[in-house]
Structure 1
Amino acid sequence: MPSSPTFCRHQTIPGPLVQTIASLNRPPITAKPSSFYDVPDTPICLRAVEVIKKEIPDWAANHCFRTYAFGLAIANYAGFDTEQAKLELGFDKELHFLTCALHEWGMGEEGINQSKLSLELWSAIRAREWIIEQQSSTPEGEMRPLQEWADLAAEAIARHTIEFRGFSKTVNIHTALLTLGSGQDLMGLSSAFVHPDDIKLICKKWPRLGYVDGLRALTKEEVRQKPGCLFEGCWGDFDPGMYSVSCFKGLQGSLTKRVSARL
């Protein structure tokens, strides 16, 4: 009989998350080189890039990658990426990337129009399935704790929009960084922890492509089709406020015909 998996127990991060990071009394933020935000050059992360670019609109895929970058910047500012903090909190750059890259999978055609699940839940389920599936294509010398990663990613994805509103007293590191990173990309909620030059750099690396217009159209349809869905509770907090976020002034872009057709 196979033994039960043993999961690492790590410290959690108290909420509200933005206030927690602000209370750390860290040194001033510094600008990073573009390479700091590169996607981890591992087979599983590169496969995630391919699948998410195929499954969701370009403006949504770029949001996923910017979420990763903003989360990475916040982790660095807070000191969550130090070796000691990694041991205490369990931060892993690859897992952080996978969580962010896959977190909007529900914004694809199947998630919006063919499933009654809230897009956060559909994304979480599909991400978990996909990460576990990668076990069969991962070389023995590159083994990862994919079962544990799948669970942690799904947990973060399912909860990230309710954590915007401080739902939980504490969360794990990957839920925290997904919430903070996506909140930064949507509303600039963590701008105090990301250097202004890095905000521009990240938006140049993964352009916004009319992200707010795409999000408005897609989530309006999500709420229309799925009364009581998770996004319904926070929709009014973002729209129209997401159009006037100062740190993204001049960076929003507009939807292309090709992208618009996929809504």
Structure 2
Amino acid sequence: MSLTNTKSPPSKLCLLHHMVKGEIYDGLARVKRRLDGKTLQYVAKKNYAVPDTPACMKAIELVRDCSPEFLLNHGFRSYAFGVAMSHKVKKNYDKEVLFLGSIMHDLGLTKEHDHGGTFECDGAKSAYNFAISQGIEIPKAELIHEMVALHDSIGVAQAHEPEVALIHYGAGLDVAALWHKDIHPKTLTEIVTTYPRLDFAEAFILLLKDQLKRKPESYMKTLIELGFYEKMLAVNF
């Protein structure tokens, strides 16, 4: 697998193109769902329970040791939301891999895993090294790397492996309420109750502002210029 080791901020035109294209695609999928008489399925807590493997337990410990609680909970919610929206990928996926990539996807925002590059790629390197240290097979470790590196890549993540798409959907829902129409309301409420937001938007924005100040060409630059902070603050669940 070819790994993503650098990410430059996309142009506004390119990003807007991907966003509009995605909204049209998702809108058509929802219309088809209604026409087919299908409804969103409630997903119970047991379905997004943390996989009981040594690597998952160690990953939680790793993230907890270097992250504030609001960021740790964001990782848990991103995983749970991804599982709850697995109907969007229509493919089998590896729950352990999905959890490992989800819980570690923001490692690059922590002091210990900030190596001076755009945070997605910094975190991806740390997540890959962790996976290898836990005996995870190289193909799966590479997939975890790509989950972290591409989790916020609009128009790109959806076209990759299901685990990459699902962390993109899960994190996007949690950060900016994207795809909130693709999850059962009761499931969403239960996930947020289980893993409280803890003033997530305000705290996360401070981390991003620090990143942009120190790394003005970070990948998130374009999204923020297009009003991403305001979208985060408007989340009401």
Shorter-chain TM band: 0.7 to 0.9
Q: Does 1:78 align with 2:78?
A: no
Shift of 1:105: 0.6
Kindly indicate whether the alpha-carbon contact (under 8 Å) linking 1:64 and 1:100 is maintained by their aligned counterparts in 2. Answer: yes
Superposed, 1:103-142 pairs within 5 Å as 103-112=105-114, 115-135=115-135
Kindly indicate whether the alpha-carbon contact (under 8 Å) linking 2:157 and 2:168 is maintained by their aligned counterparts in 1. Answer: no
Whole-angstrom distance in 2 between the partners of 1:133 and 1:197: 38
Superposed, 1:241-252 pairs within 5 Å as 241-246=231-236, 248=237
Q: Does 1:147 align with 2:158?
A: no
What is the aligned length? 212
Q: Deviations over 1:145-197 (max 9, x none)?
A: x211111111121122222xx24782221211111111000111111111111
Q: 1:61 aligns with which of 72, 75, 87?
A: 72
Whole-angstrom distance in 2 between the partners of 1:31 and 1:43: 29
Kindly indicate whether the alpha-carbon contact (under 8 Å) linking 2:89 and 2:165 is maintained by their aligned counterparts in 1. Answer: no
Q: Does 1:230 align with 2:219?
A: yes
Which structure has the greater CA radius of gyration? 1
**Structure 2 residue matching 1:207: 3-state secondary structure:** coil
Q: Deviations over 1:29-65 (max 9, x none)?
A: 1222222221011111111111111121111111011
Whole-angstrom distance in 2 between the partners of 1:50 and 1:17: 35
Whole-angstrom distance in 2 between the partners of 1:243 and 1:67: 17
TM-score normalised to structure 1 length: 0.74
Gaps of 5+ in 1: 6-14, 136-143, 249-263
Code of the residue aligned with 1:36 in structure 2: it is N
Q: 1:216 aligns with which of 198, 205, 208?
A: 205
Shift of 1:110: 2.8
Code of the residue aligned with 2:146 in structure 1: it is E
RMSD: 2.1
**Structure 1 residue matching 2:153: 3-state secondary structure:** helix
TM-score normalised to structure 2 length: 0.82
Code of the residue aligned with 1:103 in structure 2: it is H
The verdict on how the C-alpha distance between 1:35 and 1:219 changes in structure 2, with shifts beyond 3 A counting, is: same
Moved more, 180-189 or 154-163: 154-163
Determine the structure 2 residue equivalent to 1:201. 190
Gaps of 5+ in 2: 2-17
Determine the structure 2 residue equivalent to 1:94. 96
Code of the residue aligned with 1:226 in structure 2: it is K
Whole-angstrom distance in 2 between the partners of 1:210 and 1:219: 15
